[in-house]
Amino acid sequence: MSERVRLRGLKVRTADRVLLDGVDVTVWAGEVTALCGPSGAGKSLTARACMGVIDVAPGLFGGSLHFPEHDARDWYAGVAGSGAAGHTRLLRETESLRGGYLSYSPQAASSALNPGRTIGRQMEIAVARRVTAPASLGATLRDLLHEVGLPPRAAAALPGELSGGQCQRAALAIAMASDPKVLIADEPETGLDPVLRRQVVELLLSVGKAHNCGILLISHHEDTVERIAEHVVRLTPPSRLEASA
């Protein structure tokens, strides 16, 4: 079983609050790791930290981040405790990994997708991040749309012309277009009714496993987590720092 992401001892804080303290996350090829917890527990912050994005101040105070299939380096080395300068360097150094090695599927896809670009164009941009270009771009787009249950004509549609469920499927197609090693799915069930919610989650699972992609799922739906996740990381809400900290 191949590790795709190894995050250890993540500690993030603001001036007066510990946001994350000693969080460990591992994502394996072909398996689902779920980040669970109530709103404000740090699920999205942990996922962003896995992508090398630390956007709070003071920010990163401890931890290590490895992408074992990419290289052996610790991407957090020299960043912890270094403030904005270190965060900026980390953001710059990990930029090439986001959208390629790591891909992100947003929650509320109908509003997160670019409203002024067709689904096909957004997929083309994602395909361009592949290490090896596909032999036929048109065939690749058709295959991806078919894989997520959308007809070829969806490539010519703007996000506003699709339903909520179709937008979530399109977002998944865009996220998989770069052929990523890791897919971060940020609450894919948001805004969907129970039937669509189950369909979208099952689709996410089947597509991810078909590509041997490691999935990091952000969710607060315990039934979903119990049904599909091989590994679960449970987060608790943050606490204020002691006055002497």
Phi/psi of residue 186, nearest 5 degrees: -90, 95
What is the DSSP-derived secondary structure letter of residue 57? S
CA distances from residue 196 to 167, 189, 191, 201 in whole angstroms, order as listed = 12, 8, 10, 9
Instruction: Indicate whether 182 belongs to any domain.
Output: no
Structure tokens at 42: 């740090």
Contact between 62 and 13 (Cβ < 8 Å): no
Which residue segment(s) compose the domain that 81 sits in?
1-96+222-245
The total number of structural domains in the chain stands at 1
Using the predicted structure, report yes or no on whether residue 243 has a pLDDT greater than 70: no
Instruction: Give the CATH number of the domain where residue 78 resides.
Output: 3.40.50
| Global pTM value | 0.88
Task: For 15-43, write each residue's pLDDT tens digit.
Answer: 888 899 999 999 999 999 999 988 889 99
Instruction: Indicate whether 23 belongs to any domain.
Output: yes
Instruction: Indicate whether 172 belongs to any domain.
Output: no
Contact between 122 and 114 (Cβ < 8 Å): yes
11 strand-pairing partners: 21, 62
Q: Mean pLDDT, the chain, as a whole number?
A: 88
Instruction: Indicate whether 233 belongs to any domain.
Output: yes
What percent of the chain stands above pLDDT 90?
53
Using the predicted structure, report yes or no on whether residue 47 has a pLDDT greater than 80: yes
Instruction: Indicate whether 136 belongs to any domain.
Output: no
CA separation for the pair 6, 95 (Å, rounded): 18
Q: What is the mean pLDDT of residues 44-58?
A: 90
Instruction: Indicate whether 192 belongs to any domain.
Output: no
Instruction: Indicate whether 30 belongs to any domain.
Output: yes
Instruction: Indicate whether 26 belongs to any domain.
Output: yes
